[in-house]
Structure 1
């Protein structure tokens, strides 16, 4: 019998009920299961070697918290496949892996036996002061501003994840209209890219933020980043594109994009994000590189 370690980020009031339901569903599917709340304790970190695979029940931020521990493990530790149960707002990682949040957890768990293992590269960020990693994307400009703005907005009236994503797009639209474009310079594969950008994103998957697809051709295991740039000259077109997405209209946008395995970035932006975390601007220049096949997800 395969042993699962269930790592759950419970919302207010749902821990006991959902914990019981998830454990029962996993055991009913033929797996052993031990439960940990990643919100309350860190003892799960010492139990990883006892499991055959990890189950992360939460949003993209919870996945990042778990992966942060997994990437620290050395080559002698066994690689733990990760199964995702989407319980966040955007669930961009689940969308990338084809995991439909409209299915309930019981249905997803029942289908683990039919799942394939999807290799997943990880992005590494380095400068003279620090080293970090990302799963989804890292960048400058309007998305860090959106993260900061959403932290200050009262969303208690928002009833569904879809409504929250819609609100985020509306806030993003307003940010695009007023955001200051900043200078950037990128060196990648002996090419130089420079200009003034509203958005500069180094993507590891197709979408970030409110399910905004920036790099539809991105793959999780190709060993390459998709670098996406929106220049100052595209401000009005970009704002109109977001406006059309808000109204569910058919919308297209001409992203300026290229692929690279390694790049160096210098940017004057005062805002930066790594996945869904707002961070202080890291000291220039930044080196970003792909680490191949670091993770495996059930897809």
Structure 2
């Protein structure tokens, strides 16, 4: 390669969910920030209802971009990451959604789109894990970066009102959670790695790649996005006051022996229920199913994030 080739301006693609409304002209802002950082005019690709990000990301890779920025909510991020995992093209984040779970875990300011763009273009880069999840023995798997769940948490996601999210943000999830508290546990068979299967009566099973959700609540204590491990949490409230025990277990960060909450750490997990349950992946409700297979793929995604100190629950070796 010639010396001049080394100095060719880099180019980013922005895969944007156009239904996410913001107060600034994102396309103009992205062009301005790219110019200021010495990058070419970005490739601008909008998602559609039929293609929420995978096709646009494949197009960006085919056009030889140096970075793909996912501009949208957690669903857009997941779809872009699904195509970038296993490639040499890094992922940057421009959070536009309500949850923005991955951005919150990485200390990306969700109220500052210009700062998020600068972090994507010139921030530090880490290799992080992705988790592949297969639903009901399907031929193809999805990936997630933050969490997936079966049962109560997925019902909550599926029942959250979009109009309320627009008005009150993440508090809309609280409304949905309260409405979905009543319900019956389901007989659930779980296999951790290659261990012996065990059975529980559960309201929810969740897999996590990093720890925080909306409101700063850390539901997977000590989870790190680059440790090659998957966190599994089971939720089994008992009786009328059972949810208080679940909340207490969360506040104790997994310490204690109350069966209302149990934690497991693994590289793969299989979950089988006797009745169809709601399922969500990185906050996206995908329907009902009875079987999940989860497997972590270590360090398979290059991810851009801001420089500076990171919560030690996010990275194995946070920078000082």
What's the TM-score, normalizing by structure 1?
Answer: 0.81
Equivalent of 1:108 in 102, 106, 116: 116
Measured in 2, the distance between the counterparts of 1:290 and 1:179 equals: 31
Gaps of 5+ in 2: 1-8, 255-260, 306-320
Specify the alignment match of 1:83 in structure 2: 92
Change (3 A) 1:292 1:146: same
Partner of 1:147: 157
Distance 2:150 2:240 in 1: 15
1:24 Cα shift? 1.3
Residue 123 in 1 paired to residue 123 in 2? no
> How far apart are 1:278 and its partner, in Å?
2.2
Report how far residue 70 of structure 1 moved.
2.7
Distance, in Å, in 2 between the alignment partners of 1:129 and 1:8 is 28
Q: Partners in 1 of 2:244 and 2:172 — Cα distance?
A: 15
Quote the residue 2:10 is aligned against.
2
CA spacing shift, 1:139–1:179, aligned 2, 3 Å: same
Q: Which of 226, 233, 237 is matched with 1:228 structurally?
A: 233
After TM superposition, give the deviation of residue 14 of structure 1 in Å: 5.6
Query: CA distance change for structure 1 residues 52 and 165 in 2, over 3 Å: closer, same or farther?
Result: same
Q: After the TM superposition, which segments of 4 or more aligned residues of structure 1 sit over 6 Å from their partners?
A: none
Q: Which residue of 1 aligns with 2:170?
A: 165
Residue in 1 that maps onto 2:283? 276
CA distance in 1, matches of 2:171, 2:143: 25
Report the 3-state secondary structure (helix = DSSP H, G, I; strand = E; otherwise coil) of the residue aligned with 1:281.
strand
- Asked if residue 47 in structure 1 is aligned to residue 60 in structure 2, the reply is yes
Q: CA offset at residue 44 of structure 1? A: 5.4
> What are the ranges of 5 or more consecutive residues in structure 1 without an aligned counterpart?
245-249
Q: Which secondary structure state, in structure 1, belongs to the residue aligned with residue 226 of structure 2? A: coil
Task: State the distance in 1 between where 2:164 and 2:75 align.
Answer: 20
Secondary structure at 1:62 match in 2: helix
Residue aligning to 2:35: 27
**CA pair 207-132 structure 1, distance change in 2 beyond 3 A:** farther
- Of 259, 263, 266, which residue of structure 1 is paired with 2:265? 259
Pick closer, same or farther for the CA change 1:279–1:167 going to 2, 3 Å: closer
Quick one: structure 1 residues 231 and 280, their matched pair in 2 at CA, closer, same or farther if it must change by over 3 Å? same
CA RMSD of aligned residues (A): 3.0
What residue number does 2:313 align with? none
Structure 1 residues 139 and 175: alpha-carbon distance in aligned structure 2, compared to 1, 3 A threshold = same
Quick one: structure 1 residues 225 and 70, their matched pair in 2 at CA, closer, same or farther if it must change by over 3 Å? same
CA distance in 2, matches of 1:212, 1:119: 25
Partner of 1:207: helix, strand, or coil? coil
User: In structure 1, what is the Cα distance between the partners aligned to 2:165 and 2:237?
Assistant: 34
SS at match of 2:43: strand
Post-superposition offset of 1:295: 0.7
Answer yes or no: is the 8 Å Cα contact 1:198–1:235 preserved in 2. no
Cα distance per residue 1:4-44 (max 9 Å; x no partner): 11111123666993211222122222211222222388555
